[in-house]
């Protein structure tokens, strides 16, 4: 009597292996996606969305502007929702290109929400800057160091109208401004033909050895504003919205 052999014996395990590999690949892909766009790390875009679509939410999400938290050297240079945070990976940023400052979303139309100098310093507006000014400061927290504060998006959607105050025309260099000096008003100009929701992007930028400021778009060239503002604005600390003075406790 002859036994029939079944050659399929080795087939099923291979199918399981392939299915398992596909599943692992999918899981790894989802993990990579979540890491890249900060899913689980950042809730910023949900809060910004709530603020933008529902005016009734705005007062409760607003941080009072133009005043300093207790013991903080800087005043908050605008007023509204502090939405996108420092080192935030939420869109349009990601885990390898994190947000270099804070975004303050004001309540109102373009060119109505004031932006002011966070601290005494010397203002520069390069000749081709439509929506941006930068101010050089003696660092109040590290005496002897020079730092810069950077303010942008101060122009109309298409960039044709600047909302920077007339006191600071393009080409202004090293003009002394006191803390609280009006710099201009919030706009939604994102540069190069794209529009952003109206806000002030505010960041603290390091200087180089020649006394110039470094490229603000690179996180390593910027400083966490948390101790300067006296409020936790670093995504790493997982602060809760709305952002409030840290020393309130």
* Chain residues that interact with Zn ion, rule: CB under 5 A: 103, 201
Peptide bond into 154 cis (omega under 30): no
3-state secondary structure at position 188: strand
Strand pairing class (133-138; 146-152): antiparallel
**For Zn ion, the closer CB: 103 or 139:** 103
| Min CB(13)–Zn ion separation in Å | 52
Q: Which residues pair with 155 in a beta bridge?
A: 162
| Min CB(192)–Zn ion separation in Å | 15
Sign (positive/negative) of CA torsion 239, 234, 136, 191?
A: negative
| Min CB(82)–Zn ion separation in Å | 11
| Min CB(132)–Zn ion separation in Å | 12
Q: Residue 187 has what DSSP assignment?
A: E
3-state secondary structure at position 62: coil
**For Zn ion, the closer CB: 149 or 175:** 149
**For Zn ion, the closer CB: 123 or 200:** 200
| Min CB(84)–Zn ion separation in Å | 5
**For Zn ion, the closer CB: 103 or 232:** 103
| Exposed/middle/buried for residue 120 (C-beta within 10 Å: 0-12, 13-18, 19+) | middle
**For Zn ion, the closer CB: 90 or 123:** 90
């Amino acid at each position: 009597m002859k036994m029939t052999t079944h050659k399929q014996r080795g087939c099923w395990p291979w199918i399981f292996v392939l299915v398992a590999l596909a599943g692992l690949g999918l899981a790894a892909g989802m993990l990579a996606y979540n890491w890249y766009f900060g899913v689980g790390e950042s809730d910023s875009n949900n809060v910004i969305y709530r603020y933008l679509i529902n005016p009734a939410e705005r007062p409760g999400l607003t941080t009072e502007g133009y005043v300093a938290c207790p013991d903080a050297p800087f005043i908050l240079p605008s007023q509204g929702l502090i939405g996108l945070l420092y080192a935030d990976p939420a869109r349009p940023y990601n885990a390898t290109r994190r947000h270099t400052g804070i975004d303050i979303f004001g309540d109102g139309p373009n060119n109505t929400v004031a932006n002011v100098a966070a601290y005494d310093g010397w203002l520069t507006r390069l000749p081709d800057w439509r929506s941006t000014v930068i101010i050089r400061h003696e660092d109040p927290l590290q005496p002897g160091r020079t730092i810069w504060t950077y303010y942008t998006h101060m122009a109309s959607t298409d960039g044709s109208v600047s909302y920077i105050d007339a006191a600071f025309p393009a080409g202004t260099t090293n003009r002394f401004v006191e803390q609280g000096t009006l710099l201009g008003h919030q706009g939604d100009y994102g540069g190069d033909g794209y529009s952003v929701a109206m806000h002030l992007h505010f960041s603290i930028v390091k200087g180089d050895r020649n006394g110039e400021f470094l490229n603000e778009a690179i996180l390593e060239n910027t400083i966490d504003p948390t101790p300067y503002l006296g409020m936790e604005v670093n995504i790493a600390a997982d602060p809760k919205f709305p952002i409030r003075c840290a020393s309130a406790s």
